[in-house]
Chains A and B, each alone.
Chain A
C-alpha cells in the first residue's frame, strides 16, 4: 500500500468536504453570512484556474529546448477548438493527442 498517496487523498478529501459542509454547519441556522466570505467564495474560483494552469506547466523550461513549444502549440489547439466548438471533451482529447504526438515524435 502507498501510505503517502492515501494520506494526500484523505487530506484533499477532508478539505474539499470542509468547503461544502462548514458553511452549512456555521451559517445553516440562519445566521448572516459575512459578505467577505461570500465574496471570496465567488471570486477565488476565477483565480484558481489560472493558478492551476501555471501549476500544470511548472516544469516547462523556456530557456532549454524545445522551449515550451509543444505546450504552446497544444494550448493553441485546445483554445482554438474550444472557441470554435465549445465542446470540452473534444478540445481535451484533440489537445492531448496533439501534445502526445509532439513530445513523442516531433520534439
Chain B
C-alpha cells in the first residue's frame, strides 16, 4: 500500500499543465485574501498559517471578520456550513484514492473545489503515474494559494492607500460563485432558501445573532423539502 512514490519529469509536466489555470487564479485570489488580512491587522505569516490550517478560500475569507470578534461556536458552525460540500467530495473520492496508502490523508486534507474538479473524473494523461499526478496537482494548487496569500500580506504592508471598502472583495467573490452555481443548477430552491432565510433572520434577530437561527432553518427546510429538491435535480456540482 505504501510503495515509494517515484515522480518523473513527465508527471510534473502533466500536473503543471492541468494545474496552471488554477494556480493563476489561486495566486491572484490569494493575494486578495492576503491584502484583506493585512488590512485587518494580520500579516503574511497569519495568511500563510491560515492557508495551511484551514485551506479553504471561502472559509478563510469569512474567517477574516471573525478573527477579532467572532465567537468560537459561531466560527465552528460557519466553517461546518461553508465547508459541507467537502463531505460530498471526499465520499466520492473514496474509491479512487483507496490505493494511495498514507498519501491519501494529504490528498483528502487538501481536496479543495478546484482540485476535486480536476481529479474526480480524470487520472491524468496516458503514461503518467496516477499517484504522482494526483499528489502533484493537489500540492501545486495548495502551494499557489498559500504563496499568493503570503504575497498579498506582504504587498498589503507596502500599499498605503485608503483601504476603506476593500472588504467588498469578499462579497463580490461570493456573488460570482452564487451566480455560477445558479447557472449550473436546475433547482434553485437551495440558493433562494439560503438568501431569504438568512435575510429574514438578519431582520428578526439583529446583526449579531442571525447566523445560527438561519443555519438551523436552512437545514430544517432542506430536510422537509428533500423530496421536492431531489425531484427537480438539486445536484449539479462537480
Chain A residues within CB distance 8 Å of chain B: 2, 4-5, 7-24, 27-28, 33, 36-59, 70-71, 74-75, 78-79, 82-83, 86, 88-89, 91-92, 95-96, 99-100, 102-104
Contact = CB atoms under 8 A, between A and B. Distances in A.
A86 B180 CA distance: 8
B94 to A, nearest CB: 6
B175 A4 contact: no
Contacts of A95: 168-169, 171-172, 175
Given A89-B29, A103-B165, 17 more contacts: A8-B75, A12-B79, A19-B84, A21-B108, A37-B87, A38-B88, A38-B91, A41-B88, A42-B88, A43-B234, A44-B81, A44-B84, A45-B84, A48-B85, A53-B178, A79-B179, A88-B180
B109 A20 contact: yes
B125 interface: no
Interface in B192-218: 192-199, 202, 207, 210-211, 214-215, 218
Contacts, number: 265
A24 B94 contact: yes
A92 B31 CA distance: 12
Contacts of B214: 51, 54
Interface of B: 25, 28-29, 32, 42, 46, 49-50, 53-56, 58-60, 62-63, 66-68, 70, 72, 75-76, 78-91, 94, 98, 104-105, 108-109, 111, 162-181, 185, 190-199, 202, 207, 210-211, 214-215, 218-219, 222-223, 226, 229-230, 234-235, 237
A56 B170 contact: yes
B202 A23 contact: no
A103 B167 CA distance: 12
Given A2-B67, A28-B94, A96-B172, A49 B83 contact: no
B230 A49 contact: no
Nearest to B190: A46
Contacts of B181: 45-46, 49
A52 to B, nearest CB: 5
Contacts of A37: 87, 91
Contacts of A58: 202, 207, 210
Contact of A50 (B163, B171, B178, B185): B178
B162 A104 contact: yes
B109 A51 contact: no
Contacts of B192: 50
Nearest to A50: B194
A102 B165 CA distance: 9
Contacts of A19: 80, 83-87, 90
A73 B26 CA distance: 27
A103 B164 contact: yes
